[in-house]
Chains A and B, each alone.
Chain A
Amino acid sequence: MSDKTSESSQNNISRDVLLSFEEQERDQINELWIAGEVAGRTEELISQAETEQALEDLHIRLDFRDRPARILGYIQNYGRYVAAAVAIIVIGTAFLLIPQSVEAPLGEMAVVTLSDGSTVELNSGASIQFNRLFGITNRNISLNGEAYFDVESSDTPFRITANGTVTEVLGTKFNIRSWPNHPQNETHVAVEEGTVKFYPKQQDRNAVILQEEMESRWQAGLEVPENPSAAELDRVTGWRERKFIFYDESLQQIFNEVERRFNLHIELENRDVADETLTGYYGKVSGPQSLLDDICTVAGLNYSKTANGYRVY
């Protein structure tokens, strides 16, 4: 690469470009250059939460947790046999590291039995990822969304990374809710049986320990997860029986859940009400319409049908 000593003209127009224009044109060219910056800002940027999730997935694909120690010295000493063995190991490992992904489609739910015998129930639109070494050398999973875990007992810790948090257990039953589109990146954990360790990623000194019937949550910016408090498990895991249970939940979050569960699109026209909260219990829901009917009545809103869902105003 050529010299970088000249001012690295990241925001200014390049001199070469400017000099290609007649002197009287240059002011206008500069003006367009400056206005062009604003035009570029309309290109959408990925959020920090999405970046972190992608990085977690990448870590799993590259198996960053337990990288083998340096093997170079051995290769020099034992020559080609070791090299051949290493090649086999490398190819084998690459195969083992291909990530496996399971997803519950929108509008549906899924139950997955993992190779260690643990089961995971995925709420609509939720997904998990793990590599082929799951159940052999590790029990690491990344979660996107909401799931109920029934983890088999084992000496290998079962770790779930979700939205910048880690939930670690040896064997127990619990629910994690961690949707990537939550405005504060909240991850909520509630334990039904056993004990769970819950902490922001790479900060296990800030862990909270959750016992049976306790819950905690973590949001981006918090150093330590919320102090554990008593959980109403029926409410938290109501989704498993296809109930809709909202407790002091924002309208935006409620509509997000309705969207995922029925695979439709809800346009919330009146953004002012998005943060208003609502509490409600719907044991048997015949369809999205009856649910919307009720929510809109309570919140003083109206709705109408659109091609792929509803418009709420």
Chain B
Amino acid sequence: MKKHTEQQLTEWAEKISRSDQRAFDELFRAFYPILVRFAMRYVSNSTTSKDIVQECFITLWKTRTRIDASRSLKSYLYMMVRNKALNTIRDNSGVDIDHELASDQQMNQQPDEIEQEYESSKLERKLQLWIGLLPDRQKEAFRLSRFDGLDHDEIAEVMSVSPKTVNNHIVAALSTLRNRYEQYKNEIKG
């Protein structure tokens, strides 16, 4: 994944607020793939995810004159996608899900599948599984930090919590991962 500097993002934000279509296209190209991937974590359906991200860019363009270039455009995009994704889940389920994430594939795995996972000894694959088993909010914060490279302030804005809470989520996530790792190492030895 390419990283985009703060400077580049501020420049895009300024240009887009002045209706610069080229800057809008550049932003779209840079963020569409990672935002679709991000939306998939909630709705686990690529067509719905693409629709959600498309709608967010349309909203961004329609409200472009109100973009505040001094604020993080990145967290704004992630926040829009997250809200839309959560709304989609809520609208489709008919029950108040209270910000619950779409059931992870890993969550639905049968115990024996998890056993099989233990057989294949790659740490990365293990980690992927363990991350999927984390509590929702921890999982969300951890993935935004680790996979999307957002800093704590940005994640705080996306998830509408304080940076301190973000820090707690990530620390808790890493503690759990570490415990599982220890357990796993003992199992291999034993």
0/1 string, B151-177, CB within 8 A of A gives 1 = 111100100000100010011001101
- Give the contacts of B96-119 with A (CB-CB under 8 A): none
A43 to B33, CA, bound (A): 11
A20 to B33, CA, bound (A): 33
Q: Does B178 contact A (CB under 8 A)?
A: yes
- Give the contacts of B17-64 with A (CB-CB under 8 A): 19, 21, 25, 28-29, 32-34, 36-37, 40-41, 46, 50, 53-54, 57-58, 61
Determine the residue in chain A with the shortest Cβ distance to B5. Answer: A8
0/1 string, A216-240, CB within 8 A of B gives 1 = 0000000000000000000000000
Q: Are B37 and A44 in contact (CB under 8 A)?
A: yes
0/1 string, B112-144, CB within 8 A of A gives 1 = 000000000001110110010000000000110
Q: Are B3 and A1 in contact (CB under 8 A)?
A: no
Which residues does chain B contribute within 8 Å of A11, judged by CB atoms?
A: 149
- Give the contacts of A1-54 with B (CB-CB under 8 A): 1-2, 4, 8-11, 14, 16-17, 20-21, 25, 28-29, 32-33, 35-40, 42-47, 50-52, 54
Which residues does chain B contribute within 8 Å of A61, judged by CB atoms?
A: 54, 58
Interface residues on A, range: 35 or more
Known A14-B167, A17-B174; judge A1-B153 contact (CB<8 A). yes
A221 to B177, CA, bound (A): 43
Q: Are B152 and A14 in contact (CB under 8 A)?
A: yes
Q: Which of A1, A10, A29, A37 contacts B178 (CB 8 A)?
A: A29
The B interface, classified by DSSP as helix, strand, loop or mixed, is helix
The size of the chain B interface, using a CB distance under 8 A, is 51
A72 nearest CB across to chain B (Å): 10
Q: Does B189 contact A (CB under 8 A)?
A: no
A54 to B58, CA, bound (A): 12
Q: Which of B1, B28, B50, B145 contacts A14 (CB 8 A)?
A: B145
Q: Does A62 contact B (CB under 8 A)?
A: yes
Q: Which of B6, B146, B181 contacts A40 (CB 8 A)?
A: B146
Determine the residue in chain A with the shortest Cβ distance to B25. Answer: A55
Q: Are A51 and B32 in contact (CB under 8 A)?
A: yes
Determine the residue in chain A with the shortest Cβ distance to B157. Answer: A1
Q: Does A64 contact B (CB under 8 A)?
A: yes
Known A9-B151, A25-B178, A39-B125; judge A33-B36 contact (CB<8 A). no
Which residues does chain B contribute within 8 Å of A28, judged by CB atoms?
A: 178, 181
Q: Are A43 and B147 in contact (CB under 8 A)?
A: yes
A16 to B146, CA, bound (A): 14
Determine the residue in chain A with the shortest Cβ distance to B123. Answer: A35
Q: Does A150 contact B (CB under 8 A)?
A: no
Q: Are A36 and B127 in contact (CB under 8 A)?
A: yes
Known A32-B178, A42-B128; judge A62-B61 contact (CB<8 A). yes
A32 to B185, CA, bound (A): 13
A45 to B31, CA, bound (A): 11
Known A36-B146, A39-B125; judge A62-B58 contact (CB<8 A). yes
Q: Are A54 and B40 in contact (CB under 8 A)?
A: no
Known A17-B174, A42-B128; judge A33-B32 contact (CB<8 A). no
A153 to B143, CA, bound (A): 54
Q: Does A57 contact B (CB under 8 A)?
A: yes
Known A32-B178, A62-B61, A64-B21; judge A54-B124 contact (CB<8 A). no
Q: Are B3 and A10 in contact (CB under 8 A)?
A: yes
Q: Does B70 contact A (CB under 8 A)?
A: yes
B36 nearest CB across to chain A (Å): 5
A-B contact pairs, 9 of them (CB 8 A): A1-B70, A2-B153, A17-B170, A36-B146, A40-B143, A50-B33, A54-B53, A58-B54, A62-B61
Q: A17-B170, A33-B174 are in contact. List 8 more A-B contacts (CB 8 A).
A: A1-B153, A17-B167, A21-B174, A29-B178, A32-B178, A43-B40, A51-B29, A54-B28
